[in-house]
Amino acid sequence: MARATDPIGVAAFEGGFALPSGEPGWLTAFRGAGAARFREVGLPTNRDEAWKYTSLRPLARAKYEQVDALAEGAAIPKPLIAGAAQAVFVNGRLNADLSDLDGLDAAVQPWARVATAQWLADTVTANPPNQAMYALNAAAFTDGLAIRVEAGSALARPLEIVFLAAPGARPRMWHPRLAIDLAPNARALILERHIGLEDGAYLANHGADIRLGDGAVLVHAKIQTEAKDARHLAMTRVDVGRNALYDNFVLTLGAGLCRNEAAVSLSGTKSEVRLNGAYAIDGRQHADHTSRIDHLAEDTRSRQVFAGAIDGQARGVFQGQIVVDRLAQRTDGHQLNRALLLSDQAEIDAKPILEIYADDVKCSHGATAGDIDDDQLFYLRARGIPAVQARQLVVRGFLAEAAAGLSDETVRTVILDAIDGALGLEIAS
């Protein structure tokens, strides 16, 4: 009898499993674990509770080439943050010529060059590669960036990691990998940009591991403007130490299908995570923001605000799981998921899950979904602002609110500008 859950899509991907020579033993073992896991579970589909609203079944039929070809004559976007360094990937491959990492040499390295470093092994292997697409990334990745900031110091310049996608005639895929390790009291500001340079189908399957030592602060933002036919998947695993702050924001604008997933462990007392995000989708876009936050220690704090503007036949998914361990007394967790449904066919699926095993906690979640407020529109129009622009302003304000929690003002401004740009607004602030 065939099993009801035969893994799907293994054949389509296992040809790309990589075992580069010269990698250290821990990495070979990690890749092996990833490969084994992916062979076991295959592509996630609606049958998996964690993928109830987002199925990757269609990927099994797509024939993706793994190509690291460079884009010819592609314009490299200028940094959005003044003075920022840039690590530029083209189709998943780090391109040293296009990158500007001056002054960051020791801290920001191609993955292969630091593969033997103990900190990298510790950061990456803290958890087994369980999530299916993360496991696939582990098995198949060929390039990545490894960032390490020493204790008490700050990354000398803000860093923008730019992922440029230049699709070819046939669908392409890449599985880039990121590791960030901030030693105790280290600080860094990192902005990821995912840019589809031209139309075309491709699969970008990102995997990331982040470790924040005691007192470390990482501001980590992401602006995703992949091509409309692209599938963008990202799994980020984060461990936050004592008194450390992981301040994350994701702005999702592009890709036909996007799943941005984060698993955050608040393992040190008084550690804090902010997982905020905004998305504006249209047409048949599908944007899934999934997270799991584990409060594992006392006095930990989590904040989540997601705001989505969903138009056309687009579909938003928000899954937020907060787990409060028995030991995590005085946890303070708050989650808010808001969606503006801008058309009759727009859809939002929300699944908040609170699992609380400690008795002294403050945890809440909320969700709203609805149309634009007519009173707001009328107020703006009564001041002379035409209807279309009034709508944009209201949407803008709605999305911008999610960025209010960002601790870094520069990044907040960059995010707000990107929102304005996406909505076609010209706002001089």
Partner 1 sequence: MLNIKDLHVSLDGKPILTGLSLTVPAGEVHAVMGPNGAGKSTLAYTLAGRDGYEAQSGSATLGDADLLGLEPEERAALGLFLAFQYPVEIPGVAGMTFIKTALNAVRKARGEPELTALEFLKLVRATLKDLSMDEAMLKRPVNTGFSGGEKKRNEVLQMALLRPKFCILDETDSGLDIDALKVVADGVNRLRAPDRGMLVITHYQRLLDYIRPDKVHVLARGRIIRTGGPELALELEEKGYGDILAGLAA
Closer to partner 1 at the Cβ: 161 or 369?
369
When asked if residue 301 is in the footprint of partner 1 (CB under 8 A), the reply is: no
Q: Which helix (H) or strand (E) holds 406?
A: none
Give min distance, CB of 390 to partner 1, in A.
Answer: 8
Asked if residue 305 binds partner 1 (CB under 8 A), the reply is no
Judge whether 331 and 358 are in contact, CB under 8 Å: yes
Among 389, 413, 417, 421, which residue sits at the site for partner 1 (rule: CB under 8 A)?
Answer: 389
Instruction: Show Cβ contacts of residue 125 under 8 Å, excluding neighbours closer than 6 positions.
Output: 26, 30
CA gap 164, 86 in Å, rounded: 12
Q: Does 357 bind partner 1 (CB under 8 A)?
A: no
User: In 257-408, which residue ranges form alpha helices assigned H by DSSP?
Assistant: 374-382, 387-400
Least Å from the CB of residue 279 to partner 1:
15
Rule CB under 8 A: choose which of 394, 406, 414, 418 binds partner 1: 394
Which CB, 270 or 396, lies closer to partner 1?
Answer: 396
Closest to 240 in 3D by CA, of 134, 116, 126: 126
Strands 172-174 and 159-165, by their bridges, are unpaired
- Quote helix, strand, coil % in the chain, to nearest 5: 20, 40, 40
Nearer to partner 1, 73 or 384 (CB): 384
Query: How far apart are CB 429 and partner 1 at their closest, in Å?
Result: 6
Decide: 89 and 204 in contact? Cβ < 8 Å: no
Distance CA 1, CA 11 (A): 21
Listed in sequence order, the residues at least 6 apart from 221 whose beta carbon sits closer than 8 Å to its beta carbon are 190, 191, 192, 248, 249, 250, 251, 406, 411, 414, 415
Q: Does 385 bind partner 1 (CB under 8 A)?
A: yes
Q: How many residues does the chain have?
A: 429
Would you say 81 or 394 has its CB closer to partner 1?
394
8 A C-beta contact, residue 231 and residue 193 = no
d(CA 371, CA 373): 6
Q: Which of 56, 297, 380, 422 binds partner 1 (CB under 8 A)?
A: 380
Pick from 204, 399, 406, 422 the residue near partner 1 by CB under 8 A. 399
Residue selected from 381, 405, 413, 417 as contacting partner 1 according to rule CB under 8 A:
381
Out of 10, 76, 356, 400, the only residue in the binding site for partner 1 (CB under 8 A) is 400
User: In sequence order, what are the residues at sequence separation of 6 or more whose Cβ sits closer than 8 angstroms to the Cβ of residue 58?
Assistant: none
> Binding residue for partner 1 (CB under 8 A) from 289, 398, 411, 412?
398
Residues 128, 91: Cα–Cα separation, whole Å: 26
Q: Counting contacts by CB under 8 A, is residue 126 touching partner 1?
A: no
Q: Per rule CB under 8 A, is residue 397 in the interface with partner 1?
A: yes
**DSSP strand E in 342-389: where?**
347-356, 361-370
Name the segment binding partner 1 (CB under 8 A); options: 147-155, 174-182, 329-337, 378-386. 378-386
Binding segment for partner 1 (CB under 8 A), chosen from 104-112, 160-168, 193-201, 371-379, is 371-379
Q: Is residue 370 near partner 1 by the rule CB under 8 A?
A: no
Beta bridge partners of 320: 291, 352
Rule CB under 8 A: choose which of 206, 237, 396, 412 binds partner 1: 396
With CB under 8 A as the rule, give the number of residues binding partner 1.
28
SS3 15: coil
CB burial readout 380-403, b (16+ within 10 A) else e: beeeeeeeeebbbbbbbebbbebb
C-beta separation of 337 from 364 below 8 A: no
Cβ distance to partner 1 smaller for residue 25 or 384: 384
By beta-carbon proximity to partner 1, the closer residue of 11 and 427 is 427
Question: Is residue 375 near partner 1 by the rule CB under 8 A?
Answer: yes
- Please choose, out of 140-148, 238-246, 355-363, 386-394, the segment that lies near partner 1 by the rule CB under 8 A: 386-394
* Shortest distance, position 223 Cβ to partner 1, whole Å: 18
List interacting residues with partner 1 (CB under 8 A). Answer: 373-376, 378-387, 389-390, 393-394, 396-401, 404, 427-429
